[in-house]
């Protein structure tokens, strides 16, 4: 399928160094962005589907880098079915598993841990809830796992490893397993802050600096924050990605974002929700955190969007999160919410409002056009200007 989005008002690229792209048209073909900027009438007419953005803002699909995936579109923690499809209506086109720790009765022995990660990974290989790409299968590091175990599952496609819920006496004991996971080219992640489940101890700046993971999960607390003084140390003394989560401590989220900007470490700031958890299912969580950073921490709205898209993609090595030729065609149209005080999406976000999502395209396919089920309506009407595809009912599974 070839798809064009025309009459775009503003293009946010997802790249924090150059957050805006010029032009008014995006063309995608077979799931990949072909061009961003301008296109001739002939090129647009050759597309199967044309979406009229009517002056609204186009951003890359949001990447939530901390989602408690289990199996299927179901969260046991909140006993909710269909939550991932609901997140698509909040502009999220990619979810990255924070480990399958919520699977009821999850195994803790090496064979079980490996099987869980491999099964989760493979279950989402071709399964897209609501059109979302789900990167599942994050191995939970527990005593007894060895470097060879990690090598075995890396061969099965597992590329995420999570420290923080293992039965170790001290968090420092994760160090050899994190190093082994790194040696197998996995992205390593460490729970940060106070214990989120009984029995798991607090993980603070000293631990992060000793363990050196790729990502500090919910550095602002999940939900309980580490000491304020540790933020500057982690930023200055490491290159660890600073993941700010909606379901964390808001004050330290703002503290960390402000420091990251001041200390020239903004590229390491990434946004996620850390849901579903005890805090619930939050389909608009990414949009809330973007609005919090823009309205309370003085971060430009387009930069907050980059932290939720291109910066996540860079840290997790994904071919999405950017509106540029060759990238995955995960595209979201947003606008000022109807009835608000602001004239466009970025002004609304700066004002602290939740942007209205008017269309979501993932893997090059429109998932809905016109109105999200979960956000307010857009001020301007986004519509399908042309669709020459015959109906195709082959997508079900």
CB of 218 to Zn ion, least distance (A): 6
For residue 190, how many other CB atoms are within 10 A of its CB? 24
Convert residues 256-275 into a mask of x (bound to Zn ion by CB under 5 A) and - (unbound). Answer: ------------------x-
**CB atoms closer than 10 angstroms to residue 365:** 16
Residue 389 DSSP code: P
Centre a 10 Å sphere on the Cβ of residue 171 and count the other Cβ atoms it contains.
23
Nearer to Zn ion, 1 or 103 (CB): 103
Q: What share of the chain is helix, strand, coil (3-state, %, to 5)?
A: 30, 25, 45
Q: How far is the CB of 390 from Zn ion (least distance, A)?
A: 43
CB contact at 8 A, 269 and 239: no
Q: Between residues 16 and 165, which has the closer beta carbon with respect to Zn ion?
A: 165
Residues 25-64 that bind Zn ion (CB under 5 A): none
Stretch that binds Zn ion, among 93-101, 171-179, 294-302, 340-348 (CB under 5 A): 93-101
Minimum gap (Å) between residue 68 Cβ and Zn ion = 6
Cβ closer to Zn ion: 69 or 382? 69
Is residue 269 within a helix (H) or strand (E), and if so which, with residue range? strand 269-272
Quote the CA–CA distance of 181 and 190 in Å, as a whole number. 12
**Binding-residue total with Zn ion (CB under 5 A):** 2
Helix (H, G, I), strand (E, B) or coil at 105: coil
DSSP code of residue 368: E
Cis peptide leading into 276, omega within 30 of 0? yes
What is the C-alpha separation between 54 and 383, in angstroms, rounded? 8
Say whether residue 149 binds Zn ion (CB under 5 A).
no
Cα(147)–Cα(145) distance, rounded to whole angstroms? 7
Q: Answer yes or no whether residue 98 interacts with Zn ion by CB under 5 A.
A: yes
Whether residue 202 contacts residue 226, with contact meaning beta carbons closer than 8 Å, is answered with yes
For Zn ion, which stretch binds (CB under 5 A), given 95-103, 283-291, 309-317, 358-366? Answer: 95-103
Nearer to Zn ion among residue 149 and residue 274 (C-beta): 274
Q: Pick between residue 98 and residue 307 the one whose CB is nearest to Zn ion.
A: 98
Residues whose CB is less than 8 angstroms from the CB of residue 21 and which lie 6 or more positions away in sequence, other chains included: 11, 12, 13, 36, 37, 323, 324
**Residue 190 or 265: which CB sits closer to Zn ion?**
190
Show the binding pattern over residues 215-254: x = contacts Zn ion (CB under 5 A), - = does not.
Answer: ----------------------------------------
| Per-position x/- string for 272-291, each x denoting binding to Zn ion as judged by CB under 5 A, each - no binding | --x-----------------
**Closest distance of CB 164 from Zn ion, Å:** 9
Kindly state the helix (H) or strand (E) to which residue 348 belongs, with its residue range.
helix 345-350
Calculate the CA 282 to chain-centre distance: 13
Judge whether 57 and 38 are in contact, CB under 8 Å. Answer: no
197/263 with CB nearer Zn ion: 197
- 100 is a site residue for Zn ion (CB under 5 A): no
- Nearer to Zn ion among residue 66 and residue 380 (C-beta): 66
CB of 135 to Zn ion, least distance (A): 15
Rounded to a whole number of angstroms, the minimum distance from the CB of residue 200 to Zn ion is 11
d(CA 345, CA 54): 13
Question: 147-155 and 110-123 helices cross at what angle (nearest 10)?
Answer: 20
Nearer to Zn ion, 203 or 345 (CB): 203
Q: Please, what is the minimum distance in Å from the beta carbon of residue 21 to Zn ion?
A: 33
CB of 223 to Zn ion, least distance (A): 9
Nearest Cα to Cα of residue 331 among 16, 20, 36, 17: 36
Least Å distance, CB 178 to Zn ion, is: 17
Binding site for Zn ion (CB under 5 A): 98, 274
């Amino acid at each position: 399928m070839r798809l064009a989005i025309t009459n775009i008002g503003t293009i946010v690229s997802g790249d924090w160094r150059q957050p805006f792209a010029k032009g008014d048209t995006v063309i995608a073909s077979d799931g990949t962005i072909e061009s961003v900027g301008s296109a001739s009438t002939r090129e647009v007419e050759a597309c199967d589907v044309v979406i009229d953005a009517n002056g609204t803002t186009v951003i890359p699909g949001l990447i939530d880098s901390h989602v408690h995936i289990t199996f299927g579109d179901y969260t046991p923690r909140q006993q909710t079915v269909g939550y991932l499809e609901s997140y698509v209506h909040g502009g999220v086109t990619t979810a990255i598993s924070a480990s399958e720790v919520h699977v009821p009765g999850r195994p803790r022995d090496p064979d079980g841990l490996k099987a869980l990660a491999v099964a989760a990974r493979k279950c989402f290989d071709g399964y897209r809830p609501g059109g979302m790409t789900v990167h599942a299968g994050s191995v939970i590091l527990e005593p007894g796992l060895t470097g060879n175990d990690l090598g075995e599952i890396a061969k099965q496609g597992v590329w995420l490893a999570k420290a923080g819920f293992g039965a170790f006496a001290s968090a420092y004991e994760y160090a050899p397993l994190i190093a082994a996971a790194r040696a197998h080219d996995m992205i390593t992640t460490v729970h940060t802050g106070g214990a989120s489940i009984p029995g798991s101890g607090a993980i603070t700046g000293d631990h992060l600096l000793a363990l050196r993971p790729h990502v500090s999960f919910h550095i602002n607390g999940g939900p309980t924050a580490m000491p304020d003084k540790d933020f500057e140390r982690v930023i200055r003394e490491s290159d660890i990605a600073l993941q700010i989560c909606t379901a964390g401590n808001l004050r330290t989220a703002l503290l960390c974002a402000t420091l990251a900007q001041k200390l020239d470490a903004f590229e390491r700031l990434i946004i996620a929700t850390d849901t579903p958890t005890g805090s619930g299912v939050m389909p608009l969580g990414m949009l809330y955190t973007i609005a919090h950073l823009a309205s309370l921490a003085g971060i430009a709205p387009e930069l907050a969007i980059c932290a939720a898209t291109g910066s996540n993609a860079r840290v997790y090595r994904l071919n999405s999160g950017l509106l540029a030729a060759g990238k995955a065609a995960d595209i979201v149209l947003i606008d000022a919410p109807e009835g608000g005080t602001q004239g466009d999406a970025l002004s609304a976000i700066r004002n602290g409002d939740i942007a209205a999502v008017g269309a979501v395209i993932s893997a090059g396919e429109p998932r809905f056009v016109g109105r999200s089920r979960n956000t307010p309506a857009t001020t301007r009407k986004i519509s399908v200007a042309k669709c020459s595809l015959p109906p195709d009912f082959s997508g079900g599974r």
